[in-house]
Amino acid sequence: MRIVDSAAAQRTILRRPAWDEIEISDNLADSIAAIFGERIGADEAVRRILRDVRERGDAALREWAERIDEVALPNIMVSPEQVRRAYDAVEPPVVDALKLAARRIEAFHRRQPALSWIHNDAEGTLGQLVRPIERVGVYSPGGTAPLPSSLLMTVVPARVAGVSYVSVITPPQRGTGLPHPAMLVAADLAGVDVVYVSGGAQAIAALAFGTETVERVDKICGPGNLFTTLAKRQVFGMVGIDGLPGPTETVVIADSSADPELAAADLLAQAEHDVLASAIMFTPDAALAERVQQAVMRQLEELSRAEVIAGSLARGSGIVVTADLNECFELANAYAPEHLCLLVKDPWSYLGAVRNAGGVFIGERSFEVLGDYVAGPSHVMPTGGTARFASPVNVGDFVKIISVVGLNEEALQKIGPAAETLARTEGLTAHAAAVRRRL
């Protein structure tokens, strides 16, 4: 794991490519060429899949499952009996852990207000109605590496918001044509209405357009890979989306009080996700940087996903030595990480310095892995610098606001002339006439 100064970091590990700058690997390019019979970009591949599913529905879902995932889909919808049988295939401690996570996620999100209000005065009434989105579809990764926690982190807030219909679509396991049993258990615990089996861009297409089996939804949520993210970007406008999640990322800010072994463990936990994940530490203590670097290399030898972690550490990860803690926070706010971990003395005193982050984890006993599973807030957080303007998945993602306007004659006489003036300024004479006829 490299150690760099802040200037070098700005040119390397802190620079993220834009969506139109993403370069796919040679292996992925070869795979796309093999599937489509010609060399095309990922965006074009997604566009063709979306069009095919829109035109051919279930038949296209089955064909793309065989061509891309090499899986036959006997059924696109999971039956209630298959969900019940999934409990027999999941160890009881896992079921108990999922139940604990679901309870804590629900309790946290029930504290988030989303309130209607009506205000009456002499001019009449103004207000807002908060209404849940009616139909939400959740994409939940789960082919080679099932992520039941991500399912809970997305579905439970939707249920708390009052969404009346929530479906989940998730990839099948090879050899079974069904999702991983833990995914089905999580879906049942979260109160999902129906589970569909499909992965990739074709799954997003099914939710956006509907098929003979898959019901169309109003909004699509949930993390995924490059292809599902590109698909969400292309269907946005026809349906709502929660965002465009990119590779996961963590920034650790540490000072001389930090335990280098724990800092290293947190960085490795982040790098374990994917070779595209970013695990970054800012510290003004050069000696601590070296101790953490050594701890990372030592602990890496004990981990099962060492090859993935090594790829992440070599690509977009590193330790940045700064002038002081103030520079640490300046760099962190500019980077706007998904996760920001404060391993500093008296971390609460620095909370006010945090402006941009998906989530902030305060102290060595409040580390990111707890947030990934059981702390309570959704772990589906903004990535790629979007924490500058976006938020973690929350109740607000699943409601919409309807403005209420009920003004009377007194209000008309008071504010109507201003409305007429503005309408004429904009050249909208019909607008102005609608006001004038009432005055």
Q: Is the pLDDT of residue 224 over 80?
A: yes
- Residue 21: its pLDDT value, please? 65
142 and 179 Cβ atoms separated by less than 8 Å: yes
- Specify the DSSP element, H or E, that contains 125: strand 124-132
The mean per-residue pLDDT over the stretch 311-335 comes to 96
Q: Is the pLDDT of residue 183 over 80?
A: yes
Q: Which residue has the higher pLDDT, 24 or 379?
A: 379
Where residue 113 falls among pLDDT bands split at 50, 70, 90?
confident
CATH H-level, domain 80-241: superfamily: Nitrogenase molybdenum iron protein domain (3.40.50.1980)
Q: Is the pLDDT of residue 111 over 80?
A: yes
- Specify the DSSP element, H or E, that contains 59: helix 58-64
pLDDT, tens digit, for every residue of 410-419? 999 999 999 9
Beta bridge partners of 119: 126
Where residue 165 falls among pLDDT bands split at 50, 70, 90?
very high
Q: Verify whether residue 212 is a known catalytic residue.
A: no
The mean per-residue pLDDT over the stretch 177-182 comes to 92
Q: Which member of 249, 338, 368, 420 is catalytic?
A: 338
240 and 133 Cβ atoms separated by less than 8 Å: yes
The mean per-residue pLDDT over the stretch 328-341 comes to 98
- CATH architecture for the domain at 3-16+247-388: 3-Layer(aba) Sandwich (3.40)
pLDDT, tens digit, for every residue of 343-388? 999 999 999 999 999 999 999 999 999 999 999 999 999 999 999 9
Q: Can you tell me the distance from the alpha carbon of 53 to that of 151, in angstroms, rounded to the nearest whole number?
A: 24
- Residue 55: its pLDDT value, please? 97
Q: Can you tell me the distance from the alpha carbon of 13 to that of 278, in angstroms, rounded to the nearest whole number?
A: 8
**Torsion sign, CA atoms 107, 111, 112, 116:** positive
The mean per-residue pLDDT over the stretch 3-22 comes to 86
Q: Verify whether residue 21 is a known catalytic residue.
A: no
Question: What percent of the chain has pLDDT above 70?
Answer: 99
251 and 342 Cβ atoms separated by less than 8 Å: no
The mean per-residue pLDDT over the stretch 142-159 comes to 89
* Whether the domain at 3-16+247-388 and the domain at 80-241 fall into the same CATH topology: yes
Q: Is the pLDDT of residue 36 over 60?
A: yes
Selection from 397, 109, 360 nearest residue 245 by Cα: 397
> Which class for 302: exposed (0-12), middle (13-18), buried (19 or more C-beta within 10 A)?
exposed
- Residue 215: its pLDDT value, please? 97
Where residue 189 falls among pLDDT bands split at 50, 70, 90?
very high
Buried b (16+ CB within 10 A) or exposed e, 49-80: bbebbbeebbebbbebbeebbebebeebebee
Which residue is listed with tokens 């640490």? 328
> What are the backbone dihedrals phi and psi of residue 169, each rounded to the nearest 5 degrees, phi first?
-125, 130
135-139 and 165-170 beta bridge pairing: parallel
Question: What percent of the chain has pLDDT above 90?
Answer: 87
- Report domain extents, the chain: 3-16+247-388, 80-241, 408-436
> What are the backbone dihedrals phi and psi of residue 119, each rounded to the nearest 5 degrees, phi first?
-120, 125
Q: Can you tell me the distance from the alpha carbon of 173 to that of 181, in angstroms, rounded to the nearest whole number?
A: 10
What Rg value do the Cα atoms of the chain yield, rounded?
25
When mean pLDDT is compared across 22-31, 183-192, 333-342, the lowest value belongs to 22-31
Mean pLDDT, the chain, integer = 94
141 and 154 Cβ atoms separated by less than 8 Å: no
> What are the backbone dihedrals phi and psi of residue 139, each rounded to the nearest 5 degrees, phi first?
-90, 130
pLDDT, tens digit, for every residue of 415-431? 999 999 999 999 999 99
pLDDT, tens digit, for every residue of 225-275? 889 999 999 999 999 999 888 889 999 999 999 999 999 999 999 999 888
Selection from 344, 330, 144, 318 nearest residue 225 by Cα: 144
Q: Which member of 339, 364, 379, 420 is catalytic?
A: 339
Please give the biggest Cα pair distance in the chain: 80
Contacts 24+ apart (CB under 8 A), 70-75: 70/174, 71/172, 71/173, 71/174, 71/175, 71/177, 72/177, 73/172, 73/177, 73/197, 73/198, 74/177, 75/177, 75/197
When mean pLDDT is compared across 8-22, 304-318, 363-377, the lowest value belongs to 8-22
Q: What is the pTM of this model?
A: 0.92
DSSP conformation class of 239: B
Beta bridge partners of 195: 168
When mean pLDDT is compared across 9-13, 67-71, 103-107, the lowest value belongs to 67-71
